[in-house]
Amino acid sequence: MDIKEVQNLIKFVAKSGVSEVKIENKDFKLTIKNKPEYVTPAPPVATTVTAIPASVPPAVAPVTPPPAAATDESAKKETDESKYITIKAPIIGTFYRRPSPDKPPYVEVGDVIKEGDIVCIIEAMKLFNEIESEVSGKIVKILVDDATPVEFDQPLFLVEPM
């Protein structure tokens, strides 16, 4: 196995999201470990606590079911989104919408894409991986902010099939 084949294998392992690959031959032994990037946890959210004086009994509100309209609306939203195809992250890394800071984004909401079009870049282990669309359609929603960490299989875009 020459150096070019090893480099191609490293790129393949990085793109596939596999954590470890071992290859043994009579001439050599090769192990490639793909360590996930450390994702910093979100800062804690500040909460406000209001003290209730002991002399005032707490008010208890009756438990009522949500209005039927709200339930119908949320069910309608779920069925609306079920007609869309989700483009998901094939690897762990940092999501970028554009090839460089001074260039326009690959796709915007309303853009029509076809299979094989580049929709974003995910940086993993200092490699910038162009993510191609596996579907044709119109971008309906971008689900991730630019330059944010993404997990494997995390939804990135909603696409209306055409």
- Tally of structural domains, the chain: 2
Instruction: Note whether residue 48 is domain-resident.
Output: no
What does the pLDDT read at residue 114?
A: 95
Q: Is residue 94 part of a domain?
A: yes
Q: Residue 31: which residues within 8 A CB-CB, separation 6 or more?
A: 20, 21, 22, 23
Q: Is residue 19 part of a domain?
A: yes
Q: Is residue 87 part of a domain?
A: yes
3-state helix, strand, coil in the chain (%, to 5): 20, 30, 50
pLDDT < 50 regions, the chain = 38
| pLDDT of res. 29 | 75
* 104 found inside a domain: yes
Query: What CATH number did the domain enclosing 128 receive?
Result: 2.40.50.100
Within-domain flag for 15:
yes
Same domain as 153, residue 97: yes
Integer Cα distance of 47 and 38 in angstroms: 27
Q: What pLDDT sits at residue 24?
A: 75
Q: Is the Cβ–Cβ distance between 114 and 143 less than 8 Å?
A: no
What gap in Å lies between CA 93 and CA 131, rounded to an integer?
Answer: 12
Predicted local confidence at residue 109, as pLDDT = 96
Let me know if residue 41 belongs to a domain: no
Q: What is the SS3 assignment for 32?
A: strand
pLDDT for res 139: 96
Residue 26, pLDDT score: 73
Residue 114 burial (CB < 10 Å; 0-12/13-18/19+)?
A: exposed
Is 39 inside any structural domain? no
Domain span at 16: 3-33
